[in-house]
Amino acid sequence: MQLDRTFAALSDPTRRAILARLASGEATVTQLRALSRISQPAISRHLKVLEEAGLIEARVAGQSRPRVLKAEALTPAREWLEDVRAAFEQNYARLDALLAELQDAPPTQSGDDT
C-alpha cells in the first residue's frame, strides 16, 4: 500500500528533517547535507526513499537537482490519522451517552434487561 511507504518514509528523523526543510522551499543535496552529519550517499539514499513514497521530486537545474516537496502526498496520511481520531471520539461519545443513560436509570436488582 502507498500509506506503507509514506509512513515508513516518515519514520526516520533525517527524512523528516529533509521534508521540514523542503516545506519552506526547494533545496539541493549539498544544502540538505547540512541537516545531518551523514555522508552524501546516505542523503541521496534518503531522498530516493522519499521520492519513491511520492513525497518529493527532483528538478534539473544545471549540475544540481534541487528537490521539491510534494505536500499533497502527505494528505492520505493526515486523513488516515484524522479518520482514526474521529472514529475513536465517536466511540467515546457513544460511551458517554451510555453512561448518561445509566445515570437516568440507576442499577436495579435483576431482570431489568428488557
Partner DNA sequence: TACTTATATAACTGATTCGCTATATAATGT
Partner DNA sequence: ACATTATATAGCGAATCAGTTATATAAGTA
4 binds a copy of itself (CB under 8 A): yes
Residue 89 CA to residue 39 CA, distance in Å, equals 44
Asked if residues 43 and 21 have their Cβ atoms less than 8 Å apart, the reply is no
Q: Draw the binding track, 19-48, toward DNA (x: CB under 7 A; -: no contact).
A: ---------xxx------xxxxxx-xxxxx
Task: Please provide the DSSP assignment of 21-41 as one string.
Answer: HHHTS-B-HHHHHTTSSS-HH
- Choices 1-9, 33-41, 43-51, 96-104 (CB under 8 A): range interacting with a copy of itself: 1-9
Instruction: Report the interface residues with a copy of itself, using CB under 8 A.
Output: 1, 3-8, 10-13, 16, 19-20, 23-25, 69, 71, 74, 77-78, 80-85, 87-91
